[in-house]
Amino acid sequence: MRSLWVLIPLLLPLPAVAGPLKVGVEVRSTAGSWQPIAPADLSRAIENAALEELSRPGQLQLARAQKGTASDLLLVVEGRLLDEAQTYTVALTIGPGARADAPSLTAAETVVLEKLSRAQILEKVEGAARAAAKGLWGVLGPQLARLGDGTQVGPPPNLDADKTLPWQWGAVRIPKASVSSAGDLDSKDHQKRQATLRELTSLALSEASPRHALERCALDHKDQETRRGCLEALRPLSRKPGPTQRVVIEVYRKDPDSRIREEAIEQMLYFTGAGRSEAIQAFLEAASLGKGYGPLAELGDLPNLDLVIVKCLLARRKGEARPTEGQHFACIELLEPLTHQRRRAILWPFLKETDKNGPRYLEGAGEREGSTGTPWARAVDALLEDATTWDPELEDILWGRYQRTLSSHSLQVLCDYAVPSKRLLERMLEVVQTAGAHCALRAVEKMGKKEANLGVLAKDRLAEMQAMGNFQKGVSADDLGRVIQAISRGEK
């Protein structure tokens, strides 16, 4: 049984690189009581196999990390042996070293070592390391190829709700419980189930078999209350044993009961090392499916977060034709730790969507957007939040949205932030004429004062409207006259 997962962040353009990148390598290995091969031998096997695979393209200069020596990137090769499941996971994580702008990627491969000879174990482990390295390079290679060419890297343009994210989960392996009372958890007598649960909870603190019974119960028991009780009993045990952590994660992924999932989240927040990485993976998966967001909003920037947000915005819950507004709000909240460039890559296809039945269409409230929050308004605000320059393409998107839905939020953004131009002036004058919007009139005044040629055009058009009464209620002839005078004073 094999499990391959790859976490992929989307990167900003990096400076050009001269020659191979210097990569410092660290090797880590963890094992419990079951050690079919000495941990040092397993470490050497996965290190040699992974580095050989990553060296093939010739773009990485790999060497053991040395104190006081700066490397462009840092590669951690980690092996994790789970006792009871008898599985071995090879995880490769590459991230910033001396270069803070470098990519951060993780790939891992899991293999089952049960009933294998020493030679077969080494072959399996080396194969896992090679597979993980190939998965890592499959993502890292294209990023390195883009270095220095100014390419804006964003989510795949054709990513949609029907495509899976680039990881897979293997089945959970729990040894059969040998404790005689485990069967009483299935008793029809509620009191008997509760008594058995209390007994197993006490025994599990010092024995493995009662813990296995609780793990199986937390995953599979038909009674919701009993499942939750078994999961709660695992709380002190999930802090350390890897197999128990994997069970808790699987409960979070699969259980339909929100209270049980919340208990799983509470336990997962205390996981460390490889268990924490898998917990984060589960949170990301849930968000990508629109099923829940766990503590992602508090965890900051994470590998593959960009793709997850795209999937989240597209995900449809069972029985619904499109994502709900509440779901969109939660997805947009996940943008908080991302840079402006990454936000733009994610949001642009959604902001450009004009088909109300399209999967990327964000709901608005038209003229009422000034008084109510909508996914459209929040997405625009998220894009503008840390922007340092005005994007002319955004002006066209906002203007199109205003024309179609009379979006007050789109109009307000144009009035407040758009860079003065003849085209923008014409648009604001049109709004004054057809809608009588005061913010548009203020924008006309601002542009007329700032640029003389725009001021001349603005005064002529406003004077024409004033003379012919060709403007909508909301502004008055006196309002137009005051703006004409203000522009004239500003020109002197």
15, 26, 97, 440 from 100: Cα distances, Å: 11, 18, 7, 43
> Does 277 fall in a domain?
yes
Q: Looking at the structure, tell me whether residues 409 and 430 fall in a common domain.
A: no
Contacts of 250 (CB under 8 A, 6+ apart): 169, 172, 219
Residues 250 and 308 in one domain: no
405 lies in the same domain as 441: no
Res 444 pLDDT > 50: yes
Which of 415, 433, 454 lies at the terminal end of a domain, its last residue?
Answer: 415
The burial of 72, by beta-carbon neighbours within 10 Å (0-12 exposed, 13-18 middle, 19 or more buried), is given as middle
Within a domain: 47: yes
**Residue numbers of the domain that contains 254:** 171-271
Residue 112 lies in a domain: yes
Decide if 163 is inside a domain. no
Cα–Cα dist 104/143, whole Å: 11
Residue 303 lies in a domain: yes
Within a domain: 345: yes
**Residue-wise pLDDT tens digits, 94-152:** 877 876 556 567 788 888 898 899 999 999 999 999 999 998 888 777 766 644 444 44
Q: What is the pTM of this model?
A: 0.76
Task: Give yes or no: residues 279 and 406 share one domain.
Answer: yes
473: its two tokens: 């209620």
pLDDT single digits (tens) 178-200: 888 888 898 999 999 999 999 99
139 and 32: one domain? yes
**pLDDT tens readout for residues 231-290:** 999 999 998 878 899 999 999 999 999 999 999 999 999 998 778 888 988 998 899 888
| Number of domains within the chain | 4
In a domain, 149, yes or no: no
Q: Do 254 and 299 belong to one domain?
A: no
Of 92, 126, 144, the residue at which a domain comes to its end is 144
Tokens of 449: 């004062």
